[in-house]
A and B are shown apart, each in its own frame.
Chain A
Amino acid sequence: MTGTYLGMPAFPDFPAFPAAAREAVRDEVLRANLRHATHTIRDKRAGAVAELADWDRLRAAGKAVKDHTLRHLDRYLLQLEEAVTAAGGTVHWAADADEANRIVTELVRATGEREVVKVKSMATQEIGLNEALEAAGIAAYETDLAELIVQLGHDRPSHILVPAIHRNRAEIRDVFRTEMAHWGRPAPEPLGDDPRELAEAARLHLREKFLRAKVAVSGANFMVAETGTMVVLESEGNGRMCLTLPETLISVVGIEKVVPTFRDLEIFLQTLPRSSTAERMNPYTTMWTGLGPSRGAEGDGPTAFHLVLLDNGRTDTLADEIGRQALRCIRCSACLNVCPVYERAGGHAYGSVYPGPIGAILSPQLRGTGSTIDASLPYASTLCGACYEVCPVAIDIPEVLLHLRERVAQGGPATRSGVRVTLRPADGHTAERAAMRAARLLLDRPGALRAGERLLARARRLAPRRLPGAGRAWTDSRELPTVAAQSFRDWWDRERSDPR
């Protein structure tokens, strides 16, 4: 699958989730890849979590810290700005994707460089930074292995943690063989599909980029308000190379990533790795505060540090009492790995860098429910609750889905760009609304309901195997339940009621 990745703000032409998922469901290879990967990691996660006797308390603590921070977000962000500035960094505020891209582009231009290395980051994907830089004549190289595979393959990420989860080894080998040479050091010949061989090819390819790069762009998993410290958790160490080798470091981070104190990290450094990679501790935890240790003299670390604080719909989301809990998310991806819908539909069907259950509640909030894809995302779930059960910060995803369905189906209050608005129901729900209303009127009149049941019972022999219209969606793959000859109500009246 090829295609240019579209930035977070606009998805006007993206099809609704069911249509996008249809293709994935029929792709046997994709489904096998996804099934294997998600089942392996979900089982491991369960084991890693079960090891901690105080998991429930850690989960509650993580939720509490995040909720507290979100409630006082303005205060903590100002504290963070002060601390970062005191440590020699510069803080920039970006209201939306365009502004953030403009700030980063200008910062890179000012260095005179034409290329940057990147640490895997959701925020920069959200704003489509790579594409914006490319348009400005700046090449951005992804250094995370999975992200590299996606970039080289002109693909889109399909998972938060493992963006190339939909690819198998043979497919990766083919991408390396045909694409690496266009970006830098070509893949070694011959190249097999053994994971170690593939990793080595990537290592050689990337090493060249690390040693040459003068500018790095990153996100952060956490920002500590009291110290101005940025924290990145990763598995491969490529991030650490980007964070320590280049002279200029630009970090683009969503405003919800701040935590008040250094001590708060204790919770998340336990819950995040166990939830995401099922590791007790992630292999690399890199923290940096402002400039490198030598503050611009000889030594490791950047001599210039810029922090771009990204809003892009977050303040609006914060204004929503029920929906705001989505901002607690620490992007561990546990909810994706247990989601039966994600497992079948794949990440691309969600039309966003945030797929799976969290994507289904985050995208329609950050972007609004105006587009076809965003109006369909709240329905991309059976409300089975598996996501809520595993979420390390206890986001009640089904509750938010229901809340957003309401917004789509019947409209209601929302905040857009800081302004309180009343949304109208999304387009295309007229027939459904009429059906729901008709059903309700019938169900609210037991007499009419009974008459309807009797009519149905009498006509039951006429019931076709395949229905037209909306019913087709059921009968295409399933038989209809047979209508009973006599409803329970009628049985009860005949058998149990006092004789009339």
Chain B
Amino acid sequence: MRAALFVTCVNDALYPRTGIAVVRLLERLGVGVDFPAAQSCCGQPQYNTGYRYETEPLVRRTARAFAGHEYVVTPSGSCAAMIRQHYPRIGRKAAAEGRGSELAEAAAALAPRVYELTEFLVDVLGVTDVGAHFPHTVTYHPSCHGLRGLGLGDRPRRLLAAVKGLDLVELPGAEECCGFGGTFAVKNPDVSTAMGTDKITAAAGTGAQVLCGADNSCLAHLGGLLRRADSPLRTLHLAEILASTEEEPLS
């Protein structure tokens, strides 16, 4: 089986380790990985801030970059939700505004082929034990787009629970938003910080060494707060934990 990796712009520039982890993990599970170089940003920052027209070229670009790939895997719940839920809406609106059906068709063709990483592992590959080893105490923050947008349910937790040596502790108020919200973090910094502070306080209170998530943008916000507070708690993307093995532990 082959899958195309949609690494996302945030991971590409700031968190390449997450993308590398996905490649290692998928290859270990026998999946060949393609990386279409024409890919870019999904357009979520533009769309969520109200710039639908500015988003359209990125919808077109993403659809083109992944045309012909049966499975498109991305280590970001919010980018997956953007493509699955909002691309078709953007396409339909463009059509309704008399600008042709091309965008709507491209969106409709791409949306069902896009999988968030944990969906791909659990639903497509049918695995929960990916053979990982990570001897640390971990707590998991389910990001809103994965949780409510995609309905990931307990897939991430099941994957984590099957990791050897990993002690998974529940995060109180886990389902509450961390306050990142894309440009919300900059447009409403006070509320965003208050929400994030409550989240890291809850996470630190679990006694975990690692705060794990499946969306690096939320983790950038929480990690930024943790480092400003000089907290020993570190943030890690789920993919990096799942990629870690006894032979090749996470450095």
Contacts and interface: CB of A to CB of B under 8 A. Distances in A.
Interface of A: 17-18, 21-22, 25-26, 31, 340-341, 344-345, 378-386, 388-389, 402, 405-410, 432-433, 436-437, 439-440, 443-444, 446, 449, 453, 456, 470-471, 473-474, 476-484, 486-489, 491-492, 496
B181 A381 contact: yes
Interface string B211-224: 00000000011011
Contacts, number: 186
Interface in B17-37: 17, 19-20, 23, 33, 35, 37
Given A382-B177, A384-B144, A440-B46, A341 B188 contact: yes
B61 interface: yes
A408 B187 CA distance: 14
B227 A479 contact: yes
B11 A443 contact: no
Chain B contact residues (Cβ within 8 angstroms of A): what range? 35 or more
B185 interface: yes
B189 A474 contact: yes
A385 B177 CA distance: 9
Nearest to B218: A382
A488 B144 contact: no
Given A444-B58, A478-B224, A484 B189 contact: no
- Which 3 pairs show the lowest CB-CB distances between chains A and B? A382-B181, A478-B224, A409-B50
B47 A402 contact: yes
Interface string B34-64: 0101111101011111111111011001000
B250 interface: no
B225 A443 contact: no
Given A389-B148, A409-B51, A410-B51, 6 more contacts: A382-B180, A440-B54, A449-B9, A477-B228, A491-B16, A496-B33
A202 to B, nearest CB: 33
B194 A382 contact: no
Given A402-B50, A488-B19, A384 B181 contact: yes
Interface string B158-177: 00000000000000000111
Given A382-B184, A384-B181, A410-B50, A488 B57 contact: no
Contact of A488 (B20, B38, B189, B194): B20
Nearest to A490: B16
Contacts of B228: 477-479
A481 B17 CA distance: 13
B13 A483 contact: yes
Nearest to A456: B13
Interface of B: 7, 9, 11-17, 19-20, 23, 33, 35, 37-41, 43, 45-55, 57-58, 61, 86, 144-145, 148-149, 175-177, 179-196, 220-221, 223-225, 227-228
B240 to A, nearest CB: 13
Given A340-B179, A487-B12, A477 B225 contact: yes
Contacts of A481: 14-15, 220, 223-224
Given A344-B191, A479-B227, A480-B224, A440 B7 contact: no
Given A440-B54, A474-B186, A488 B45 contact: no
Given A21-B190, A21-B191, A488-B19, A478 B51 contact: no
A18 B50 contact: no
A439 B10 CA distance: 13
Given A22-B190, A432-B49, A476-B189, A484 B16 contact: yes
